[in-house]
Amino acid sequence: MIQYFIDGLVSGSIIALGAVGLSIAYNVLRFANFAQGEILAIGAYISMAFIVLMGAGIGSIGPISFGWPLLGSIVFSIAVTSVIVLVVDSVLFRVLRERAASRITFIIAAFGLSLIIRNVITLVAGADQMFLSFYIPRAIPIFGDIKVVPDDIVILVITAICVVSLHSFLSITTMGKKMRAVAENPILAMVNGINVKSVIRWSWVIGASLSAIAGTLHAHVTQLDPEMGFELILPMFAALIVGGVTNVYGAVLGGFLIGLTEAFAVAADLSAYRSAISFLIMIVVLIVRPQGIIGEKERDD
Amino acid sequence: MIDILSFFIFFFIICSFYIISSLGLNIQYGFTGMFNVGIAGFFAVGAYTSAIITGPDYPDTMFGGFELPILLGWICAIVVSGLAGVLVGLVTLRLREDFLAISTFGIAISIQLVALNAESVTRGPNGLYALPKPFSRFLDSAFMSNLCYLIICIVTIVFIYYALERVVKSPWGRVLRSIREDEVAAEALGKNVFLFRLQAFVLGCGIMGLAGAMYANFVRFISPQDFLPIFTIQVYVMLIVGGKGNNLGAIVGAIVIWGLWSASDSLINFIVTPDYQTQAASLRIIIVGMVLVLMLVFRPSGILPEKKHLSS
């Protein structure tokens, strides 16, 4: 039972980090980014490329098979994924913004983009599964009968660091405050002299960075394949809506809830319906409490 | 000669399913501005409904095999897809449009999962086979039965086209466009925006379900592999290339894009060696995605832009 719980927290971490990217896109860029799953996939494949190029495996530190090469690949992946996302923004979404295209146009563009990225990955890396390493999780006892896989703890710690950093960024730095202002009311923010363009660029970079981390962690605990982003997007949307779209911490909370539910669905031998279960929870939340658990009612704009 | 003719008959029959889906999407997206990401899902619901109602009794399923008339299967397909639309619509159409997109995406995936895993009804990945095709009992040549099928398709398309043209020119259609242009204004004029949206959404889903049913009874074999998200993207490309908000555009776009898609298929088979078929298939999907994105950026109104309507 405890293992299912930890599995749920681990996959919840990955969903949560990805859903934060969705939340930022939803609140600052103002559309449901259907390409978010593929940004995670890009992050994972960039890490894979780094590890292959370094040729040193993923390394290990004590009982943790989470060595410096893997941490290095995350840093590399954050940088490269951010650049890719900024390029995509400037050739596609920036043009749509300048044309003041409707929100639906943005969503369709993102949906088309997700298909393009998925197939570019197939074209470049092939359709077959890939593995970052031959890592086999080995649980070690920590507390009487309770056994824990050390890497799972590392993943939870990395997620905690990400969430705390994000919170500090949003509440302490000037850019974080500007971002919240733009999310709250873009026109008012602009009138007050906030450079919305740079806020948008920062939003993409933060979303992409968290996605690169989430994608690499996902690749580490499971595997890589071109469909990975597509498989993650529905749980991430469910997390966003369950937690509350207007609140970035709602995405984190929702991510863990969805991760845990999926883990218990697996425990209850319903693994074939995993994605459908997160969808069902999402629908129930939309009916009972459309603003999500900790979200606020949205002003329509 | 007869070979070429039967190729074109086949081409236009398959194209018809896209045309009908594209017309269904036009009422949702083109006229009312609702983004449905689950076209493949509603199409699948129609296909499976008709397959269960008209199909034979399989030894390994617990439900279905009613062997009822095909027309009844198609009507049920419209109704069941419409009901699926009611369910999604009731939950999401009051909220910001992103929620409809996310929910329809979710329902398409869930439908796919049900088709794949509810083996006692859908036979899972093995699919439902030996479905009846209209007139195939009386006409023993494949050519004649395909010709008859093409006629059925054309009649259906003409009927849907004229029905939709009437509908969008009616006061009801004007309300839909007013909601698309300015929801608040429509609401202020006393229109129940939610109800109009729901009606348009359900109508579109029903039409997509019909397309799915017609597909099932033509190819006579359906499996979850037939209802992938690429279908949804194809229909969007067709509608946007043809011209959203224009029913003739929806038809023209479907023919143009299906023509290009089939041509590229033959071209790939002709020049690409079997070792690189996967890559070639990916490249083709990338090109379709690019067409969609480029149209959105450079020519969002399509080949046949929406006619300017003047209210008298």
Q: What is the pLDDT of residues B118-155, one digit of tens each?
A: 888 888 888 888 788 887 777 777 788 888 999 999 99
**Of A234 and A3, which is predicted with more confidence?**
A234
Would you call A276 and B110 a contact, using CB atoms and an 8 Å cutoff? yes
Domain assignment present for residue B69? The answer is yes
Q: What is the pLDDT of residue A60?
A: 76
* Contact at CB, A101 and B296, closer than 8 angstroms: yes
Q: Is residue A71 part of a domain?
A: yes
pLDDT at A213: 96
Q: What pLDDT does residue B119 have?
A: 83
Residues A83 and B181: their CA atoms lie apart, in Å, by: 36
pLDDT digits (tens, 9 = 90+) for B97-119: 888 899 999 989 899 988 988 88
Question: Coil, strand or helix: which one is B90?
Answer: helix
Check CB contact under 8 Å for A272 and B102. Answer: no
CB-based contact A117:A41 (threshold 8 Å):
yes
Distance between CA atoms of B96 and B47, rounded to whole angstroms?
30
pTM of the predicted structure, to 2 decimals: 0.90
Cα separations in angstroms, A237 against A104, A215, A230: 17, 16, 11
- Residues from chain B contacting residue A32 (CB–CB below 8 Å): 98, 101-102
pLDDT tens-digit profile of A25-73? 999 998 999 999 999 999 999 999 999 998 777 777 777 777 788 899 9
Please state, as a whole number, how many other Cβ atoms lie within 10 Å of the Cβ of residue A146: 11
Domain of B59, in residue numbers: 2-228
Q: Give domain status of residue B266, yes or no.
A: no
Chain B residue nearest residue A30, CA to CA: B98
What's the pLDDT score for residue B312?
A: 40
Tell me how crowded residue B147 is: count the other CB atoms within 10 A of its CB: 16
For B33-72, the pLDDT digits (tens) are 898 999 999 999 999 999 999 988 887 777 777 778 889 9
Question: CB B33 to CB A104 under 8 A?
Answer: yes
User: Among A200-204, B18-22, B178-182, which stretch is predicted with the lowest mean pLDDT?
Assistant: B178-182
What total of structural domains would you count in chain B? 1
How many domains would you assign to chain A? 1
Q: State the pLDDT at residue A254.
A: 95
**DSSP collapsed to 3 states, chain A:** CHHHHHHHHHHHHHHHHHHHHHHHHHHHHCCCCCCHHHHHHHHHHHHHHHHHHHCCCCCCECCECCCHHHHHHHHHHHHHHHHHHHHHHHHHHHHHHHCCCCHHHHHHHHHHHHHHHHHHHHHHHCCCCECCCCCCCCCEEEECCEEECHHHHHHHHHHHHHHHHHHHHHHHCHHHHHHHHHHHCHHHHHHCCCCHHHHHHHHHHHHHHHHHHHHHHHHHHCCECCCHHHHHHHHHHHHHHHHCCCCHHHHHHHHHHHHHHHHHHHHCCCHHHHHHHHHHHHHHHHHHCCCCCCCCCCCCC
In a domain, A289, yes or no: no
| Packing angle of the helix pair A36-54, A103-125 (nearest 10 deg) | 30
* pLDDT of residue A298 exceeding 70: no
pLDDT band at B229 (very low <50, low <70, confident <90, very high): confident
- Domain of A111 in residue numbering reads as 20-229
Q: Which helix (H) or strand (E) holds B69?
A: none
Give domain status of residue A279, yes or no.
no
What tens digit of pLDDT does each residue of B280-295 get? 888 888 988 998 899 8
**B286 neighbourhood in chain A, CB within 8 Å:** 115-116, 119-120, 123
Contact status, residue A202 vs residue A179, Cβ threshold 8 Å: yes
Chosen for mutation from A30, A98, A279, A280 (greatest number of chain B CBs closer than 10 Å) is A279
Quote the mean pLDDT of chain B. Answer: 89
Long-range contacts, stretch B191-194, CB < 8 angstroms, 24+ apart: B194/B93, B194/B94
DSSP letter, residue B133:
-
Q: A-contacting residues of B 76-95, CB under 8 Å?
A: 91-92, 94-95
Q: Is residue B306 part of a domain?
A: no
The reply to whether B275 falls in a domain is no
Question: What token pair was written down for B309?
Answer: 């309507």
Residue A259, domain member (yes or no): no
ipTM of the shown complex: 0.88
Contact yes or no for A207/A25 (Cβ under 8 A): yes
Token pair 């006892």: residue: A141
Q: Give domain status of residue A34, yes or no.
A: yes
In a domain, A7, yes or no: no
Q: Is A294 domain-assigned?
A: no
Over range A221-243, report the average pLDDT: 92
Q: Does any domain span residue B293?
A: no
How many other CB atoms are found less than 10 A from the CB of residue B35? 24
Which of A30, A94, A106, A108 to mutate to test binding with chain B, by most B CBs within 10 Å of its CB?
Answer: A108
pLDDT, tens only, A113-160: 999 999 999 999 988 888 887 777 777 777 777 778 888 889 999 999
pLDDT for A55 equals 79
Helix ranges (H only) for chain B are 2-25, 39-54, 70-92, 97-117, 119-122, 142-169, 171-181, 183-188, 193-219, 229-242, 247-271, 277-298
